[in-house]
Amino acid sequence: MRLKELRKQKNITQLKLAMDLNMNQNTISRYENGEREAGYRELILIADYFHVSLDYLLERSDDPTFYSEQT
């Protein structure tokens, strides 16, 4: 997951990200270190927070573009 990369690009600490997402800082650390995998709800929260696609967050694409269908 590109979480650490995205967080550092925005100059955000693990603690700030955790507080903004209503998570524990230790959880963010474990996601970044590969010690724990985020569930789909957490993945969506993180992708929305950084305005990137889930595929980009999960390193399935190099295109960070977030696509949203709006009517």
DSSP characters for 12-52?
--HHHHHHHTT--HHHHHHHHHTSSPPPHHHHHHHHHHHT-
For the 3-57 domain, the top CATH level (class) is: mainly alpha
Q: Are 49 and 43 in contact (CB under 8 A)?
A: no
Tell whether the model's pLDDT for residue 71 goes beyond 50.
no
What is this structure's pTM? 0.87
Q: What is the pLDDT of residues 20-66, one digit of tens each?
A: 999 999 999 999 999 999 999 999 999 999 999 999 999 998 888 86
Q: Are 28 and 35 in contact (CB under 8 A)?
A: no
The rounded Cα 1 to chain-centroid distance in angstroms is: 8
Domain boundaries, the chain: 3-57
> What pLDDT, on a 0 to 100 scale, did the predictor assign at position 41?
96
Q: How far apart are CA 71 and CA 66, in angstroms?
A: 16
